[in-house]
Amino acid sequence: MSTAVLIAAVVGGGVLLLMRRLFPRRKAVKLLQYPTDTMRGKTVIVTGANSGIGKALAGELLKLRARVIMACRDLRSAEDVAQDLRSQAGPEQGEVVIKHLDLASLRSVRNFCEEINKEEPKIDVLVNNAGIYQCPYTKTEDGFEMQFGVNHLGHFLLTHLLLDLLKASSPSRIVVVSSKLYKYGHINFDDLNSEGNYDKAFCYSQSKLANLLFTLKLAHQLEGTAVTVNALTPGMVRTRLGRHVQIPLLAKPLFHLASLVFLKSPLEGAQTPLYLACSPEVEGVSGKCFANCEEEELMAKATDKQAAKKLWDISRRMVGLAE
């Protein structure tokens, strides 16, 4: 018993030390307050709206009377979450619509967009939120490395297939959820599917850098329209995104406690995407990245126009959009 306690104490102390090094002095996040009818009459698509930041964002939008389309892979989970969100939103709330979307399948993305384009008269905001983090090496239905396929290519095709409706609905907004971990990646144009060597941490960072380069190029493409696109880095948030990360059994309780102290809640993490979806302060702003509801300065590799164009052209071919 004493040995187990000693091991737990050592492991737990190490976890706490690591958390303090990674996430020092977390500041309290001020929750945004908007008039309750801010999003009345507006339709917002949120991918991955059944958990984490997406769920919290959908709940806030519902309170602001938006028509929220939850685009989710797991419909049963989405139904449960939608019921929960409705019960929390109060008597004066918007509408929740659930639609199936599997970003690991280009066929599913095309089916979703076909349904949206047929049934929805307009889209005011598209939030590309869903993602996968440091999963074991697997491929999407179309043969892409899973993190690059879901985090970048799936949303790349989704956005392209909804652009005409977004333009017809202008002024409209596109919000792209990236991550500060983009700093540790680069675009490996020689092996985008990581078939030669798979480093799950690098592949996540690569996909998040791809989000930023996509935002940069798309903003340029949308110049002269009333459609804006901005990215954001939410910071470290307590979500299920890290479910594939292996944590020693004895350290799990201590890691959970530490996360409550050092990591943002999903609601706190949802403040910047909510800001980009709702705030009049960013009306007409495009091609930027935000953190904590303020513009963020990016590293040079995230503002490389040549790399953004190259990735754009390759991505179009990969998802079948190139002529």
Q: What Cα–Cα distance (Å) separates residue 11 from each residue in 20, 80, 106, 164, 244?
A: 14, 36, 43, 53, 20
Distance separating alpha carbons of residues 132 and 244, to the nearest angstrom: 9
The phi and psi torsions of 14 (rounded to 5 degrees) equal: -65, -40
CATH of the domain at 309: 3.40.50.720
What integer is the mean pLDDT of 159-168? Answer: 98
pLDDT at 104: 98
What local confidence, expressed as pLDDT, does residue 300 receive?
Answer: 98
Residues carrying an active site annotation: 204
- Specify if 7 maps to a domain: no
Q: Which of 111, 110, 129 has the alpha carbon at shortest distance from 68?
A: 129
Does 106 map to a domain?
A: yes
Q: Check residue 248 and give its pLDDT.
A: 54
Residues 68-108: tens digit of each pLDDT? 999 999 999 999 999 999 999 988 899 999 999 999 999 99
pLDDT of res. 67: 98
Is residue 8 in some structural domain? Answer: no
Whether 158 maps to a domain, the answer reads yes
Residue with tokens 């990245």: 289
DSSP notation for 247-276: --GGGHHHHHHHHHHHSB-HHHHTHHHHHH
Q: Which domain holds residue 205?
A: 37-318
CA-CA distance, 73 to 82, in Å (whole number)? 14
Q: Is 92 a domain residue?
A: yes
For residue 217, tell me if it sits in a domain.
yes
| Total domain count, the chain | 1
Query: In this structure, is residue 272 part of a structural domain?
Result: yes
239 or 303: which carries more pLDDT confidence?
303
3-state secondary structure 74-101: CHHHHHHHHHHHHHHHCCCCCEEEEEEC
pLDDT at 238: 66
**Residue 118 within a domain:** yes
Do residues 165 and 112 make contact, with C-beta atoms less than 8 angstroms apart? no
Is 144 in a helix, a strand, or coil? Answer: coil
What is the pTM for the complete model shown?
Answer: 0.87
For residue range 250-309, list pLDDT tens digits in order.
444 544 444 444 588 999 999 999 999 999 999 999 999 999 999 999 999 999 999 999
pLDDT of res. 3: 56
Give the C-alpha separation, 152 to 211, whole Å: 6
